[in-house]
Structure 1
């Protein structure tokens, strides 16, 4: 059964995703409803603990079975594994680790093949990164608002209290914490600034809903044939169906697209407003907005719901597909794109920051060294290298500062 499904080609799942898949499969089997031997679970644990990661192909894998077959194939000495970035044939594991190939018993092949671990692994990754992105987006938006000179009155608690969506209230609270200047300014402010609590807040509320679905999924037995020892019975169901996750991932993708759109608009307004300032090579900086525009267009395609698809299959028994694998891979790319859009906005705001951070500005401790590293006012300044540094800065962002302690969803 594993051999017949272990197909796929082209791109492979990242190591982080494969390791999550192993963990989630171990978790699901450990509930005891799938009828597998202890040695099978122990071998999966060996793979996890030793960072022996099966090569999982993504092309031609709209759902989880093909990918899970690739993940399980090394247990029987076939397929490929990645160790320290190098790919080996699974048959070499016996020589390197003294592990003999497993002889799977009745039901074990099906238990390894059936489940939602590919989709769930991507969902967990996307959720964790989205939670970080939400905090980063508020922080970066506060810097953009400072640089633009936006009026802070739209962020007041009184404004949110009459429309008390939880995410909106939290976003406004974050902005009030991050902003250095709370003076009211009388000037035209685009919606991309004054509606930050409403837009960012709606994304937070969507993520909170997605989080509930994923939390349930990672604590579930996702086999179809379930063995209930206490009842001395075997029941067949559809617990491996990925549609609950597909809906959640599509919702997450749509929500994050909105976050990317407003970030790109703030980048546009920052460059447009400062175009007249002296000593600013705004012509060079417009390329940042063009890049953001291109990413935003790609996001709109990635946000098209995959869960609405239901391809016709030759397997008449499996006639309603969840499309979890496709939704997961698509959402993964979109999450990475959103981080790039935030990096573009952050770099743009730093470029147009007129002076060093004020002593009382809470952002100074976090951003001053980074700004100095960009070498903005030096001849060696490079827009390309600065953007790469900004992406790395966000990837490794330190959330330990006290101003972030109450900013999480």
Structure 2
């Protein structure tokens, strides 16, 4: 397997996702040189006797308390040991790997002052498959300190890790992998824990999934508009060009591509001159989803390739600067906004189900079609109320995660971003949206079956057939790995584990 190399060029989200899914990671010579130069500048600053936050002083409200030189290494050990408090379901292995890769990338920007050994240890753990066991609740979004401390604890030979399917004490996992525990020096402890590895890494995984969901949403719409003989004029290139948001143009183009060959594109194909808004404004709503997907993507790219350490060890200016770059505010708000856009996609889907229900009821006035008996004849109709419940749950997740921070540490830490929560909630919302879209596919397939006629669109024929070729809908669990995984198999990739057991790589 060709490794991903961190060198002069920015790391891409695609490369990060590849590492999260098991691709090895290596550092190029330019990255190694930046890490070494940053560490050398920190050593020089330490020798001057100046106060350096978290190195020669304590942290938080103890920022002005000097630490004796003979206790500096002990301070770094204390920071790692004392900041790992977290609870709740375990993070998926892919998220853990992504977080580790993000921290290595951040060190490679040259602003952390971390030792080369710290980056080498994280890479060795990644490439050997030593995965710290991390809980999901612990970060308030002013750096993911709790989960990153969990990674650091394993690196120094404490904590808990999964290795080759077995959960072990960190020291034992390192021993079996042939990795020497890291000895913390200089700023290594603070550099390992004061970073947003989980928020950024998980964010990249969520965005990769959201991009696939955006296309699946278009597919569900095309099946529904075909089943109801809707009017696709709003999907045309001239209509999109008249209001040229890139996301709207992309959505309209994909919808039009999916409808290629459809009778709906002929003069006499549509039933009406225009449809209800849940059909007609799809390019605008799905376009908005794509717009905020792009906004969140830019935030992840920037965070991934930034030097976000405090203090910043700035080699170019030769200075050590206290700052707030650990605060991923743009990323956190971007995921909050993405969730609102995502819920609007779900709202249209739920509204279209009502039109499908009405059409199926009208078509079945004379009784069920020949050859179909029992509830299994209309699985989509059975799930209509479940779809409504799903949308209600989805709508609740639109509430912002970024506005409810508390005041911590004697008033010093009086703001937080909620970034990790915002990303995690967005993933939960994606699960529900995917379920909702898959439920929409089923009544559309029911309608095509009870009102048979010629349909010439390859996409709708495939989707309307696929749910019935698998086991009946009422026998599948209402989860994204059940309903949505059957209707839209492409959305299965990088699905999160939802339990409390050891995380598993999602393949």
Q: TM-score, normalised by structure 2?
A: 0.72
> Match of 1:262?
348
Secondary structure (helix, strand or coil) at the match of 2:361 reads coil
Equivalent residue runs for 1:6-405 within 5 Å: 6-63=84-141, 64-179=144-259, 180-181=262-263, 182-183=265-266, 184-187=269-272, 189-276=275-362, 277=364, 278-279=367-368, 281=375, 285-354=380-449, 360-363=456-459, 366-367=462-463, 370-371=466-467, 373-374=469-470, 381-385=472-476, 388=482, 390-396=484-490
CA spacing shift, 1:10–1:357, aligned 2, 3 Å: farther
Q: Whole-Å Cα distance in 1 between the matches of residues 140 and 442 of structure 2?
A: 37
Secondary structure (helix, strand or coil) at the match of 2:222 reads helix
Instruction: Please identify, of 109-118 and 268-277, the stretch whose mean Cα deviation from structure 2 is larger.
Output: 268-277
Provide, for residues 21-41 of structure 1, a one-character-per-residue CA deviation record: whole Å limited to 9, x for no partner: 011111001122111121211
Provide, for residues 78-103 of structure 1, a one-character-per-residue CA deviation record: whole Å limited to 9, x for no partner: 11112344321112124312323211
Q: Whole-Å Cα distance in 1 between the matches of residues 168 and 465 of structure 2?
A: 43
Instruction: Please identify, of 83-92 and 40-49, the stretch whose mean Cα deviation from structure 2 is larger.
Output: 83-92
Instruction: Please identify, of 20-29 and 322-331, the stretch whose mean Cα deviation from structure 2 is larger.
Output: 322-331
RMSD: 2.6
Instruction: Please identify, of 293-302 and 136-145, the stretch whose mean Cα deviation from structure 2 is larger.
Output: 293-302
Instruction: Please identify, of 249-258 and 222-231, the stretch whose mean Cα deviation from structure 2 is larger.
Output: 222-231
Q: Whole-Å Cα distance in 2 between the matches of residues 389 and 285 of structure 1?
A: 11
Secondary structure (helix, strand or coil) at the match of 1:340 reads helix
Q: Whole-Å Cα distance in 2 between the matches of residues 382 and 205 of structure 1?
A: 33
Q: Whole-Å Cα distance in 2 between the matches of residues 191 and 171 of structure 1?
A: 16
Secondary structure (helix, strand or coil) at the match of 1:115 reads coil
8 Å contact from structure 2 (residues 470, 486) kept in 1: no
Q: Which runs of 5+ in 1 are unaligned?
A: 376-380, 400-409
8 Å contact from structure 1 (residues 260, 338) kept in 2: yes
8 Å contact from structure 2 (residues 80, 153) kept in 1: yes
Instruction: Please identify, of 140-149 and 188-197, the stretch whose mean Cα deviation from structure 2 is larger.
Output: 188-197
8 Å contact from structure 2 (residues 441, 487) kept in 1: no
Instruction: For residue 207 of structure 1, report the CA deviation from its aligned partner.
Output: 1.5
Q: Whole-Å Cα distance in 2 between the matches of residues 289 and 369 of structure 1?
A: 19
Provide, for residues 252-286 of structure 1, a one-character-per-residue CA deviation record: whole Å limited to 9, x for no partner: 11111111111122223212211232326588644
Q: Whole-Å Cα distance in 2 between the matches of residues 107 and 37 of structure 1?
A: 8
Q: Whole-Å Cα distance in 1 between the matches of residues 169 and 338 of structure 2?
A: 37
Instruction: For residue 315 of structure 1, report the CA deviation from its aligned partner.
Output: 4.0
Secondary structure (helix, strand or coil) at the match of 1:66 reads helix
Q: Whole-Å Cα distance in 2 between the matches of residues 255 and 93 of structure 1?
A: 42
Provide, for residues 35-74 of structure 1, a one-character-per-residue CA deviation record: whole Å limited to 9, x for no partner: 1121211111112112221111122432311111112110
CA spacing shift, 1:229–1:175, aligned 2, 3 Å: closer
Secondary structure (helix, strand or coil) at the match of 2:231 reads coil
**Aligned pairs, how many?**
394
> Match of 1:404?
none
Q: Whole-Å Cα distance in 2 between the matches of residues 366 and 81 of structure 1?
A: 43
8 Å contact from structure 2 (residues 99, 201) kept in 1: yes
Q: Whole-Å Cα distance in 1 between the matches of residues 251 and 389 of structure 2?
A: 27
CA spacing shift, 1:232–1:258, aligned 2, 3 Å: same
8 Å contact from structure 2 (residues 199, 423) kept in 1: yes
CA spacing shift, 1:208–1:86, aligned 2, 3 Å: same
Secondary structure (helix, strand or coil) at the match of 2:320 reads strand
8 Å contact from structure 2 (residues 125, 179) kept in 1: no
Instruction: For residue 218 of structure 1, report the CA deviation from its aligned partner.
Output: 1.2
Q: Which runs of 5+ in 2 are unaligned?
A: 1-78, 370-374, 494-507
8 Å contact from structure 1 (residues 347, 390) kept in 2: no
> Match of 2:18?
none
8 Å contact from structure 1 (residues 346, 390) kept in 2: no
